[in-house]
Amino acid sequence: MLNYFDERGSLLLVMNVLLAALLAQAVRGCADITVTETVWVTATNVASGVSSLASTSSSLVVVPTSTPPLPVTSSLSTTTVLPTSQTGGPGPSATYNPLPLPAIAKTASPHNFNALVNREGLTVIHNSCNYTLFLTVNPPQCGGIVHGHEIAAGETYTEPIRSCPDDSGISLQITSKVHTKPILVEYSERNGISYDLSFIDCLEKTTTNMSGCAGWDEGHQCGSASGCPVFACQPGEYCDRTSYTIPEYGLTEANKDERNPVPAPVGWCKANSGIVWEICAGSQMAMARKYSG
């Protein structure tokens, strides 16, 4: 599963570090700054000087000590479908871990979600929840202000991929009436697009409780063009290897030598591929719809 990262790990890791810094700027937002023209900045060689991926991950492996019993069904005609875990197979959600294990990058939607269809150069957001979502895009100077834009149940929102004058990242923030702290998809386009799904702002810190995050109880997925990473979170799952649930993926100044080589859940896709994000991806409404792209 980690082949993707093995091949491009160095780039991704550095992208991730860059993204973290860039997104920190982006998230601060600046409501009083006017829209500025888009400037493209050429990427520097980010892959140099990164240590090998294999060197430290084994020391961080955490083996679960107990597995909850599987539910027993009372009749053959009733099938209990367990939510699949980060690895795609049946299993429980992760337990809280301040140092999540290496990210899992699948390149297709989980079998119980619809396939995501990207649209070139666009951000596509599907609201498969049966309630209205509100979208805010930060920072506002990167392509115009979107603040609390309503996306009705079942609707799809699109806008052009943005870029910022200072080359910082963009954060797409989703809330609802009852979920007032945002879930994020963060991206940055520069000779390609990097992206991640983040629950950091809406979960209860240092717990696995993400019920404050819109759509979490019915699942999330975000991706880009076919063959690029899809980060999914099953309904109700604490998905700490496919999304950000811990700031900087646990990287601190003190642990950076061991932690830097651990792949974080940041995707990368070729330029102009766009971003596609579905909220409530495992809902009945999601199952009932077919995307035409």
Ligand X SMILES: *[C@@H]1O[C@H](CO)[C@@H](O)[C@H](O)[C@H]1NC(C)=O
User: Judged by CB under 6 A, which of 73, 209, 270, 271 binds ligand X?
Assistant: 209
Residue type, 91: G
Q: How far is the CB of 212 from ligand X (least distance, A)?
A: 3
Q: How far is the CB of 6 from ligand X (least distance, A)?
A: 36
Write the DSSP string, 12-48: HHHHHHHHHHHHHHHHH--TTSPP------PPP---T
Verify binding: residue 206, ligand X, rule CB under 6 A: no
Restricting to residues 128-147, which ones interact with ligand X according to CB under 6 A?
A: 130
The angle formed by the CA atoms of residues 164, 141 and 250, to the nearest 5 degrees, is 60
Q: How far is the CB of 90 from ligand X (least distance, A)?
A: 21
End-to-end CA distance of the chain, in Å? 27
> If you search the block for the tokens 């990164």, which residue do you land on?
50
Which distant-in-sequence residues (6+ apart) come within 8 Å of 256 by Cβ? none
Cβ closest to ligand X, residue 14 vs residue 129: 129
Verify binding: residue 288, ligand X, rule CB under 6 A: no
Integer Cα distance of 122 and 160 in angstroms: 4
Verify binding: residue 212, ligand X, rule CB under 6 A: yes
* String of contacts with ligand X for each residue 175-204, x by CB under 6 A: -----------------------------x
Cβ closest to ligand X, residue 54 vs residue 82: 82
- Evaluate whether 208 touches 257 at the Cβ level (below 8 Å): no
Q: Which of 241, 272, 281 is nearest to 104 (CA)?
A: 241
Verify binding: residue 211, ligand X, rule CB under 6 A: yes
Q: Is 178 exposed, middle or buried (0-12, 13-18, 19+ CB in 10 A)?
A: exposed
Cβ closest to ligand X, residue 36 vs residue 284: 284
* String of contacts with ligand X for each residue 230-269, x by CB under 6 A: ----------------------------------------
Binding site for ligand X (CB under 6 A): 130, 204, 209, 211-212, 284
